[in-house]
């Protein structure tokens, strides 16, 4: 089945929220998600981004049905990947990889040679499932652990490449 990647539009806001909700099971998120679920601050930032004329959000569609998305921000000398989510039933099919490859292409077009991403580790020291995803995508764990809310620690990843 063909996968299409397109720029998100403001009308995709609720679809993106649905993808986020459908990307995990209650058991997976236990110990990782704040009590309120999706952070209101994140939703506010996402809404602002989608209101821009050229949002840094892409959507993956299979047969015109949105199955994943990625939200990134372009800094002066790197791109930070803020969020990547794929609907649970479509995980493990290469959709996340295609989203990251699309962001790499954008970086190369802009002459940017570094991508930055992150994930979390819960209070028990267990990394979120995205930890292995970032490693498979060629990112390196920087070793930095940033204390976050609700007992979580955040892990920073970096990927350098040639443009």
Q: Would you give per-residue pLDDT tens digits along the chain (163 residues)?
A: 689 999 999 999 999 999 999 998 888 877 776 655 677 888 899 999 999 988 999 999 999 999 999 999 999 899 999 999 999 999 999 999 999 999 999 999 999 999 999 998 888 888 888 999 999 999 999 998 888 777 788 999 999 987 5
User: For the chain, how many structural domains are there in total?
Assistant: 1
Which pLDDT value is given to residue 60? 98
Give alpha helix (H) positions in 110-154. Answer: 130-136
CA neighbor of 74 nearest in space, from 60, 55, 59, 99: 55
Residue 128 three-state SS: coil
Please tell me what DSSP assigns to residue 1.
Answer: -
Q: What is the reported pLDDT for 33?
A: 67
Look up the domain containing 139 and give its range. 3-160
Task: Assign residue 114 the CATH number of its domain.
Answer: 3.40.630.30
Which two tokens mark 109?
């077009």
pLDDT the model gives residue 86:
97
| pLDDT score, position 88 | 95
What residues contact residue 107 under an 8 Å CB cut-off, 6+ apart? 79, 113, 114, 115, 161, 163
């Amino acid at each position: 089945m063909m996968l299409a990647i397109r720029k998100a539009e403001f009308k995709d806001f609720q679809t993106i929220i649905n993808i986020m909700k459908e990307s995990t099971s209650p058991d997976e998120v236990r110990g990782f998600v704040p009590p309120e679920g999706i952070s209101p601050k994140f939703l506010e930032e996402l809404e602002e981004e989608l209101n821009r004329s050229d949002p840094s959000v892409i959507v993956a569609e299979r047969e015109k049905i949105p199955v994943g998305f990625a939200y990134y921000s372009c800094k002066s000398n790197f791109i930070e990947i803020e969020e990547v989510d794929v609907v649970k039933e479509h995980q493990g099919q290469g959709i996340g990889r295609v989203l990251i490859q699309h962001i790499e292409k954008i970086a190369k077009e802009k002459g940017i040679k570094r991508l930055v991403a992150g994930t979390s580790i819960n209070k028990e020291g267990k990394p979120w499932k995205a930890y292995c995803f970032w490693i498979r995508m060629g990112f390196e764990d920087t070793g930095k652990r940033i204390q976050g809310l609700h007992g979580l620690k955040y892990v920073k990843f970096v990927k350098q490449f040639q443009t």
